[in-house]
Structure 1
Amino acid sequence: MYPSLPSPAPSDVSTTSYHTLPHPRSSGPLKAGSRPESNLIAYLDVQLLEVSRKYAKKFHEGGYFDIKTIAEDLERLVDVLWVSSTPTLQIHYMLQMANSFNDYLASFPPHLKVTLRLLDTFDRCFYTLITETSADPSTPLPPAFSAYQMNMTEKVRLKSMIERTRLHVVKLLESGRGAPDPLTENAGNFGERNEQIDIDTENETEVDGCGSYADDEELEIEVSKVYDRCMVQLGEGLKTVG
């Protein structure tokens, strides 16, 4: 267990390196109140508290210095949750993580490639929890995957979080031409770009502070696809109820 932007038409071609989710356990969700469920809850609470503690100490010893490390830590917790096959826990903790990540973004130099990778992971997970179908046809869900239906309150919370995140990422794109030096600038204040920021430039033209994309148009397309799977499903579902 512990190991209001227009969206373009879905495309199989993307410059972002997406995360492959692990296979959910085939035996179905953890039993409510069981020791395995309690152990998982305790583990997640401790790990998320540690992420929060390191964020509070950002740019100091023992804290975070970039958004990439936070994204990696949260991605590992998403994997643990996904293996559990327990939607009640997955929805609760993924909403918590997605909301927190949205808040963390403003405090670090923009790194859109890393940001889009984690947001796509959240998008695929939430899509599966809404539709009970895998977002990746090559990795179908096991037969025992729970048929728990995301309730209306959860859908409204998810939609609100997605709208905030999409606007936030657009702001990161607009401010990404200059990124702060995390060793000298206060959190959230954009200054000169620190040369130590981890930017992947292999075989591509660098967009300063935003990861690696061939051109601005390509980057804008990637940004416009943030949570696009979920937005389609939530739009239809909430429209029907309304």
Structure 2
Amino acid sequence: MPPVPREDPTVDSDSDVEFEDVPIQPSQPQPKIPSSLDQPSEHAESVSANIPWTPELHIPEQRETPVASGSDAERQLRGRLSMAIDRINTRQMKARIGMDATNTQAGLTRYTSIQQLADDIEGTADMLWESATPSIQVEGLITLAGILERSLKTYNFDPIPTLALLNKLDYYFIALMQGEHPASHHKLPGASPHHPLVTQTQKVRIRSIAEITRTNLFAMMPGPREDEMNEDDDDADQKDDWDEPEMPVWMMQASKVYERVLMLLGDQGDPNETGGFNEFD
């Protein structure tokens, strides 16, 4: 395979990219783990409330080298990403409106749960990860994370699919920023100390999405039930023992949303830096 042109690490650029539509099938989503909610997603099953929950993390294998710039493989990758994001945006727009057109074709109907949106975002994120091509995958992952952040309030709160997807996006972002897998420390294809895979402007955007996502997610979390808050104080005083309310199995994981990204970035970057946003949606 011919050598891949490297970007100048001193240049911090997010130049506009236009994707070609290439007729190729989108990547299939990874199987989801079960959920335990009062209003579960359509794939949900029961999870014991006494067992702490940690999202299962399925990371697909990557190519050994990034796809060559200007090659047919790169054009196909851009086409797959363009079609996948267009499809996600179309279905999410219909979900926000709450209706489909009478002639909506199969596969383009509105999302009816966060599980369905998460399936499509995860499948696209995995396709980008497998490509091992930072010039495309970083911008694509930023766009997908932004779609998820803006879409959370469209659906009933469903922590299991939401937190599982956020955990994977956190992993992908931290791996690309460090140039290696967080757990094994194996280097990513094309990564080197002199060739960062994520620009400073992209880091600022990732941090912003992570912070807003955390804020929106915590705002959606259910509080104490009204009947518990209105419990008679006299009856409560007469209790010999006070039992602490049981924490939901997902609560600990919710506190870790984008934890790795935010710990790594800290105060890096200029929050006033806007740069040239290169959103694909």
Q: Tell me, in whole angstroms, the C-alpha distance in 1 between the residues paired with 2:69 and 2:177.
A: 21
Q: Secondary structure at the match of 2:250?
A: helix
Is structure 2 residue 187 aligned with structure 1 residue 146?
Answer: no
Larger Rg: 2
Q: Is the 8 A contact 2:94 2:111 kept in 1?
A: yes
Equivalence map 1:181-196=2 (5 Å): none
Is structure 2 residue 211 aligned with structure 1 residue 157?
Answer: no
Q: Tell me, in whole angstroms, the C-alpha distance in 2 between the residues paired with 1:87 and 1:14.
A: 35
Is structure 2 residue 259 aligned with structure 1 residue 228?
Answer: yes
Aligned to 1:50: 87
Q: Secondary structure at the match of 1:216?
A: coil
Aligned to 1:23: 61
Superposed displacement of residue 219, structure 1: 3.4
Match of 1:88 among 121, 131, 135: 135
Q: Which amino acid aligns with 1:168?
A: N
Which protein has the bigger helix share? Answer: 1
Equivalence map 1:36-115=2 (5 Å): 36-58=73-95, 59-61=98-100, 62-115=109-162
Q: Tell me, in whole angstroms, the C-alpha distance in 2 between the residues paired with 1:37 and 1:173.
A: 41
Superposed displacement of residue 168, structure 1: 0.8
Q: What are the superposed Cα offsets for residues 185-210 of structure 1, whole Å, 9 maximum, x if unpaired?
A: xxxxxxxxxxxxxxxxxxxxxxxxxx
TM-score (norm 2): 0.62
Q: Tell me, in whole angstroms, the C-alpha distance in 2 between the residues paired with 1:90 and 1:40.
A: 9
Q: Tell me, in whole angstroms, the C-alpha distance in 1 between the residues paired with 2:217 and 2:138.
A: 22
Equivalence map 1:104-143=2 (5 Å): 104-137=151-184, 140-141=186-187
Q: Which amino acid aligns with 2:263?
A: V
Q: Tell me, in whole angstroms, the C-alpha distance in 2 between the residues paired with 1:117 and 1:166.
A: 14
Please list every run of 5 or more consecutive structure 1 residues that lacks an aligned counterpart in the other structure: 4-12, 179-213
Q: Is the 8 A contact 1:22 1:83 kept in 2?
A: yes
Q: What are the superposed Cα offsets for residues 135-176 of structure 1, whole Å, 9 maximum, x if unpaired?
A: 232x8446x343441111111111111110110110121469
**Equivalent residues, number:** 192
Q: Tell me, in whole angstroms, the C-alpha distance in 1 between the residues paired with 2:70 and 2:92.
A: 31
Q: Which amino acid aligns with 2:162?
A: T
Identity %: 24
CA distance 1:146–1:127, shift in 2 (3 Å): same
Tell me which moved more, 47-56 or 123-132.
47-56
Equivalence map 1:160-175=2 (5 Å): 160-174=208-222
Q: Tell me, in whole angstroms, the C-alpha distance in 1 between the residues paired with 2:248 and 2:178.
A: 31
CA distance 1:16–1:105, shift in 2 (3 Å): same
Q: Which amino acid aligns with 1:60?
A: M
TM-score (norm 1): 0.71
**CA RMSD, aligned part only?**
2.6
Q: Is the 8 A contact 2:52 2:250 kept in 1?
A: no
Q: Tell me, in whole angstroms, the C-alpha distance in 1 between the residues paired with 2:224 and 2:145.
A: 21
